[in-house]
Homo-oligomer: A and B are copies of this chain.
Amino acid sequence: MDIPEYKIALIVGAGEGLSGSLARLFSREGIRVALAARSTEKLGALCSETGARAYACDATKAEDVERLFGLVEREIGTPDIVVYNASGRTRGPFLELVPAQVEQTIAISAFGGFLVAQEAAKRMLPNRKGAILFTGASASVKGYAQSAPFAMGKFALRGLAQSMARELSPQGIHIAHFVIDGGIRSKARVEPADRPDSMLDPDAIALSYWNVLQQPRSAWSWELELRPWVEKF
């Protein structure tokens, strides 16, 4: 049973929550980490803690994404794990949605995922090895009222991931999509004491990402739902 091994991870759409947990976990496992975000300002502490390098990148721009991969390749090496975490979240009554914001939500939630995944796949396919992970939400599989743009973006990202899984898995690239169903705990937002673990611990999410990364290719998952034990679904 061959457990895949990885050396370099790139997390796009990095913030402090899930990306922080992933960066710490990867770093503990001896994997070097690159973080990309529209703005790298808030990533300083995480970089110090994990030895990660931060890159500014607007994932909705093809040229930005190309440049990102070029830089990471030069400065750290070719990533064999790429995680796409970015998403936009425009909400509101259907009639009040602003077209330009809807367009931007789809761009950041889905088109950026395509751009990043394509640059990643270009580098992984020659080695027939690597993993591309997408972070979805309950909105990936359920279109909620007053949440059309987010559903559009997240459904599209899932369509991308599923299509890639069918095409690239047989070429050795592990594609996985995570349906995160529930709020993620953060410094700013913690569940009430009488509802312990009713929010997703980002470390617990990262652990499941890691477990999927470690699956031998004879038994891969392409999708995983994660939700707190008390979450309604």
**Counting CB contacts under 8 A, is A45 at the interface?**
no
Q: Which residue of B lies closest to A62 (CB)?
A: B99
Whether the Cβ atoms of B148 and A164 lie closer than 8 Å is yes
Interface of chain A, main secondary structure: helix
Q: Is B122 within 8 A of A143, CB to CB?
A: no
Q: Are A114 and B148 in contact (CB under 8 A)?
A: yes
Contact A228 B221 (CB under 8 A): no
Q: How far apart sit A44 and B170, CA to CA, in the bound complex (Å)?
A: 38
Name the residue among A142, A221, A226 with the largest chain B CB count within 10 angstroms: A221
Tell me whether B163 and A143 are in contact (CB under 8 A). Answer: yes
Over the window 171-196 of chain A, the binary record of Cβ atoms lying under 8 Å from chain B Cβ atoms (1 yes, 0 no) is: 01010000000000100000000000
> What does the 1/0 interface line of A136-154 toward B look like (CB < 8 Å)?
0001001111111101111
Residues of A211-229 whose CB lies within 8 A of B? 211, 214-229
The CA-CA distance from A220 to B122 in the complex, in Å, is: 33
User: Given A204-B216, A207-B215: A233 and B156 within 8 A (CB)?
Assistant: no
For the side of the interface on A, what is the size category? Answer: 35 or more
**A8 to chain B: closest CB distance in Å?**
20
A63 to chain B: closest CB distance in Å?
A: 10
Q: Are B201 and A167 in contact, CB atoms less than 8 angstroms apart? A: no
Q: Which residues of B contact A146 (CB under 8 A)?
A: 163, 167
Contact B103 A229 (CB under 8 A): no
The answer, among B95, B144, B169, B226, for a CB contact under 8 Å with A219, is B226
Q: Which residues of A contact B (CB under 8 A)?
A: 1, 62, 93-95, 97, 99-100, 102-103, 106-107, 110-111, 114-115, 117-118, 121-122, 125, 139, 142-149, 151-170, 172, 174, 185, 197-201, 203-205, 207-208, 211, 214-230, 232-233
Nearest 5 pairs between A and B by C-beta? A155-B159, A143-B162, A143-B163, A151-B159, A145-B167
A-B CB contact pairs (8 Å), 29 listed:
A1-B204, A62-B99, A95-B121, A99-B118, A102-B114, A103-B107, A103-B111, A106-B106, A106-B110, A114-B148, A143-B164, A143-B165, A151-B162, A152-B157, A152-B159, A152-B160, A155-B159, A156-B159, A169-B230, A197-B217, A200-B218, A204-B219, A208-B219, A217-B229, A218-B228, A222-B225, A222-B227, A223-B225, A224-B224
